[in-house]
Structure 1
Amino acid sequence: MRMFLPVFNYACMLILSVITTTFVYTLLFMPSEVGFSYVEMTSVLILIAYVIFAAPIQLVLHRHPKRFRSRDLLVYFIAAWLVCSALALWIDYGLVVFISYKVYLFSFCAALIYWVLDSVFLMKNRP
């Protein structure tokens, strides 16, 4: 059973990250009149973004693991900002993405959430 513990910890970290980031996204970007299906779709897209972009970065950063290292937070923030900016430009949000504080705030929140939960769940027994 011990061999399934890392998988369980990663699944818990990923699920909590997606739920929390979806809540932050809902507060920042969603109008109040949208339905629950919009929230579901947003959480699926955030899950895909975390698995495609954050997980490979996480594997590289875990070569020399250390809990709550600020360098890791900076790497996660830069990656989150690049992904958020690229997606905003792709959906015709325009060049206003580079001056909108909401994109920076959401990128930082997404990186912070993933970084904290990564340090709590996946680096328990490490120095």
Structure 2
Amino acid sequence: MTAEDRAGESGVDVLIRKIDTHLAVVRLGLHGPELELAERLARSLRELVSQTAQASAADRAQVRAAVHYFVLRRESRGRLLSVRSLAAAQRLANRVALHLGRPDLLVEAQREQAAPRP
């Protein structure tokens, strides 16, 4: 294993650890659809991090920026993570996924299901 391989792997580990740590904190404050969105976003970001471990520096930088945007703690009215900042992180992660040709990793907001029509 070369020094570059070790650096790439440790970078992947660091980013995934940041995602997981932030998600653990978010689980304490969010519930329902917001928590589900955060969990889907974390899954998508983990996959993007793993998939770009050997990608170009520019692609890795975009993924790293999306991860950092997700894990930044933005306070809103005493809450750790505002729904608005979560939606902004979702938009950025989706842009990165599309740029990298991974539409399968898009994170969609779950809409409330309408009652079935008779």
TM range (shorter): 0.3 to 0.5
The answer to which structure has the higher helix fraction is 1
TM-score, normalised by the number of residues in structure 2: 0.37
